[in-house]
Structure 1
Amino acid sequence: MKYRGAAIGLSLFMVGALVLTWLVYVTLRRDVAGKTVPYAALFSDVFGLREGDDVRMAGVRVGRVEKIELQGALAKVSFVVQDHQPMYGRTVASVTYQNIVGQRYLGLSLGNIGDPGPLPAGSTIPVEQTDPSFDVGTLLNGYEPLFSVLNPRDADNLTKGVIASLQGDNASIVALVDQTAQLTDSFAGRDEELGEVINNLNAVAKNLAQHNDSLDEVITQTRGMVSTLDARRPEMVESLGSISKVVQQLSTISDQVYPSLNQLVTRQPGFVSHMVGIEPQLAFTGANLPLLLKGFARLTNEAPTPIPTGAT
């Protein structure tokens, strides 16, 4: 009896797990309700489209992408559509951008070329009646310089407008154009400053062009100087070695003289104290030294006295 209760509980758990697994599988698979009719379409590019993605007419889900394979240089997309949805020979298939995550769906609409009659089941829509996908990252990268100078709100609105436009929303296309025009107007106010910068750069370029010969001469002379220095590099290296030796010798002499000089200056009563003690004498000597030097200069510059003729 004990084992029977455990077996019943395990069985109920397994049944519940299987039911939940089946529900998850059906939800993720998103099968098309009712009977379906198979078709195919040839594309030059189906970037972003995956098996299991929606097939839509006028935004309404009517089918499912079953298989994507390569056929020569083209991509063949096999899909199914509910049997009560009409398909015509002029039907145009397009890989349409679905959301910002990067999902796509296969959109079906009526075009202007092809047979206006019904499209037989199993038929393939030619590449001339398909619109390929493209990498939206390339488009958004083109707006990157603009996004860098926009505040987050404006950048978000512009991105939403781009996505809605890619989904075929005509109103969003108008809004996108209007937003782009407003941004252009905001940047147009800086046109005068940009023009002034360009004019200044043009003047600089003209000035450089006028001094082209001088620049060539300067570059030539600089090159000659560098070549001369390079040719005399061994001599310069040798001179640096000699300078290093002289500096070492001066350092040795300084080390030898420093103790005696330090002793002369710092001894007691000391050289400094002695000089302070004879400050009046030094001041007197300094005050009379210019007069002494002037007298000495006068004596050295004075011409000798000539001896008179006939003097005995």
Structure 2
Amino acid sequence: MKLFDKKTSLDTVRLGIFVVVTTIATALLAVTIGNISFNATTKYRAVFTDVVGLNKGDDIRIAGVRVGQVDKIAIYQDKYAMVTFSVDSDQSVDTTTRATLRYRNLVGNRYIALTEGVGGGTRMKKNGIIDKDRTAPALDLSVLFNGFKPLFTALTPADVNQFAFEVIKVLQGEGGTIESLLARTASLTSTLADSDQVIGDLITNLTSTLQIVSQRQQNFSQLLVNLQQFITGLSQDINPILGSLGSINSLNTKTAGLLQQTRVPLKADLDRLRTVSTTLDDTQAIWVKTLQFMPEKLQTMTRTAQYGSWFNFFLCGFDGNVTLPLGTRIPVSYDNNSARCAK
């Protein structure tokens, strides 16, 4: 019994150690992934003309070192963006500090870089505002890279990524020199020259495409007009469309429930329908003949019911057999020779 109690206590200790170590490791992992800092921080605000791509939790950096994070992004004066961010209290943010929105990578992640301005300044107070005159939005990569489209068409994806990243770094002042950028451009231009045949074919194909578009200019213009009208109509009906989404969702839910309830009976009906189809196919000659003679029969039946809601019949003759109890069959026939029965 004592040996059992000793083993149980040892297992409990081991379990406790395992739980403590796992908890500490999980906490460290959460702190690392979430960029959680336990330093004292001070909140500031900055007014930007454009913060596309910036999200809550993105970095605040000074000289490339992370010193804080974005806490909140809101509309300011109906045309600007107010970014609230926290910076470690031991970092100096003064009245000349500039805030620049920069690209962290080619995926589109951003961060805010704080740099010293010209001239001396005093330390900003808590919740102080960096005016829009001392902020700058991120580079417009769409405009930048559109100018390099002819170059990119003849390059491998790896070369394009390397060149684009170096362009961003140089233009943002984060490293590299113009000489290195030009050297890289020269290398890419050599690659482009090696692909002269590919570029020639591309230009030829593009010329053919433009000629086709030119020949159908009127249709193309009408297409653009119709598309513009369609987009305008959607814009005008945005509120009804959004309002109907709830009803559509409810309809989908009810329809799904209805289908679920009718699945078994529907399957049985389909099986019976298969049987009916087979029977109709087997008796095709019969019902086709019936349909052919149906107009004449309906016309005859209509005449017999023309005196009221009953049918009038006149017996002109019949043929048949009568079977007696002993099995003897006696033929029976009747013929009416009146004028009405004359053929």
TM-score by length of 2: 0.47
Equivalences for 1:26-45 in 2 at 5 Å?
26-32=31-37, 34-45=39-50
Q: Which position in structure 2 is the counterpart of 1:208?
A: none
3-state SS of paired residue (1:30): coil
Residue type of the alignment partner of 1:127: K
Match of 1:76 in 2: 82
Structure 2: distance between partners of 1:23 and 1:186: 47
Distance 1:104 1:166, change over 3 A: farther
- Across the aligned residues of Structure 1 and Structure 2, the Cα RMSD in angstroms comes to 3.8
Q: Which has the higher contact order (CA 8 A, sep 6+)?
A: 1
Distance 1:69 1:24, change over 3 A: farther
- By how many angstroms is 1:152 displaced? 5.6
Show the 5 A alignment for 1:170-185.
171-177=176-182, 179-180=184-185
Mapped pair 1:127 → 2:132:
yes
* CA distance in structure 1 between the partners assigned to 2:8 and 2:142 by the alignment: 61
1:165 is the counterpart of 2:173 = no
Deviations 1:209-238 (A, max 9, x none): xxxxxxxxxxxxxxxxxxxxxxxxxxxxxx
The alpha carbon displacement at 1:90 in A equals 1.4
Which residue, out of 83, 94, 117, partners 1:88? 94
Q: Relative to 1, partners in 2 of residues 1:170 and 1:120: Cα closer, same or farther, differing over 3 Å?
A: same
TM superposition shift of 1:7: 5.3
SS at match of 1:34: coil
The answer for the alignment partner of 1:140 in structure 2 is 145
- Give the AA of the match of 1:150: L
In 1, Cα distance between equivalents of 2:172 and 2:38: 25
C-alpha distance in 2, partners of 1:154/1:84?
Answer: 41
SS in 1 for 2:166: helix
Task: Pick the aligned partner of 1:58 from 56, 63, 74.
Answer: 63
Contact 1:70-1:76 within 8 A present in 2 as well? yes
Deviation at 1:39, TM superposition (A): 0.7
Contact map agreement 2:54 2:111 (CA 8 A) in 1: yes
What TM-score does the superposition give when structure 1 sets the normalisation length? 0.51
Following superposition, the deviation at residue 88 of structure 1 comes to 1.5
Q: Report the counterpart of residue 249 of structure 2 in structure 1.
A: none
The 2-side partners of 1:154 and 1:65 are apart by 33
Segments of 5+ residues of structure 2 without an aligned counterpart are 208-343
1:12 Cα deviation (Å)? 4.0
Tell me if the contact between 2:102 and 2:139 (Cα under 8 Å) persists in the aligned partners.
no
Where structure 1 has 5 or more consecutive residues not aligned to the other structure, the ranges are 202-312
166 and 99 in structure 1: CA distance in 2 versus 1, 3 angstrom threshold: farther
Query: Is contact 1:38-1:79 (8 Å) kept?
Result: yes
Distance 2:100 2:35 in 1: 21
SS at 2:177's partner residue? helix
The one-letter code of the counterpart of 1:21 is: T
Structure 2 contact 151–192 (Cα < 8 Å) conserved: no
Residues in 2 aligned to 1:74 and 1:11: alpha-carbon distance in whole angstroms:
54
Q: Give the number of aligned pairs.
A: 195
Counterparts in 2 of 1:139 and 1:86: CA distance versus 1, 3 Å: same
Task: Report the Cα offset of residue 118 of structure 1.
Answer: 2.3
Percentage identity across paired residues of the two chains? 36
> Does structure 2 retain, via aligned residues, the 8 Å contact 1:66–1:78?
yes
Q: How far 1:184 sits from its partner (Å)?
A: 6.8
Q: Quick check: 1:108 aligned with 2:122?
A: no
Output one character per residue of 1:251-296: Cα deviation in whole Å (capped at 9) or x when no partner. xxxxxxxxxxxxxxxxxxxxxxxxxxxxxxxxxxxxxxxxxxxxxx
Deviation at 1:63, TM superposition (A): 2.0
Which residue is 1:244 aligned to? none
> Equivalents in 2 of 1:17, 1:137: separation in Å?
46
The separation in 2 between residues aligned to 1:28 and 1:138, in whole angstroms, is 33
- The more displaced of 95-104 and 3-12 is 3-12
Distance 1:153 1:29 in 2: 30
